[in-house]
């Protein structure tokens, strides 16, 4: 019983962990570069949830001060995650730019195909 209640109470964490693992799996398993980047974004987003979850206070409101309200959720995770989101999109943009260039250079966006070509160039040296 305790176990079940523990599992339920940590539901957010489970969801986070599932998303995280899913994202990580895409990054490691998928050869398609665009999909890899999407997986990376999923992975990052799930981490955001991990930050936000403990900061939520039941019965609290968004941290915009008002005389009528006493309980607020924790603003600090929000700030951190705002920054993290921006970092995430910056990385995504950079990654996509690289993919576009790789596609122009190698004619493929499949990582294993590109690496084959790279290996061939290495061998030719």
Residues 79-118 that bind another protein (CB under 8 A): 79-106, 108-110, 112-115, 118
Q: Please report, as residue ranges, which positions from 45 to 64 form the binding site for another protein (by CB under 8 A).
A: 45, 47-58, 60-64
Give residue 84's Cα distance to chain centre: 10
Contact flag: residue 2 with another protein (CB under 8 A) = no
- On whether the CB atoms of residues 72 and 62 are closer than 8 A, the answer is yes
Residue with tokens 């489970």: 14
Q: How far is CA 32 from CA 64, 72, 114, in A?
A: 43, 43, 10
Q: Is 120 a residue that touches another protein (CB under 8 A)?
A: no
Q: How far is the CB of 69 from another protein (least distance, A)?
A: 10
Closest distance between another protein and the C-beta of residue 4, in Å? 14
Query: Phi then psi for 30, rounded to 5 degrees?
Result: -85, 140
Q: Is 4 a binder of another protein (CB under 8 A)?
A: no
């Amino acid at each position: 019983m305790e176990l079940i209640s523990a599992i339920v109470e940590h539901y957010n964490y489970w969801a986070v962990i599932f998303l995280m693992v899913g994202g990580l799996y895409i990054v490691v398993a998928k050869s398609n570069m665009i999909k890899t980047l999407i997986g990376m974004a999923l992975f990052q987003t799930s981490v955001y949830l991990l930050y936000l979850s403990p900061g939520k206070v039941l019965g609290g409101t968004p941290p915009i001060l008002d005389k009528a309200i006493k309980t607020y959720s924790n603003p600090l995770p929000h700030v951190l995650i705002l920054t993290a989101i921006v970092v995430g999109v910056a990385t995504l943009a950079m990654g996509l730019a690289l993919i576009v260039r790789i596609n122009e250079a190698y004619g493929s966006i499949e990582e294993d195909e590109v690496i084959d070509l790279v290996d061939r160039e290495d061998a030719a040296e």
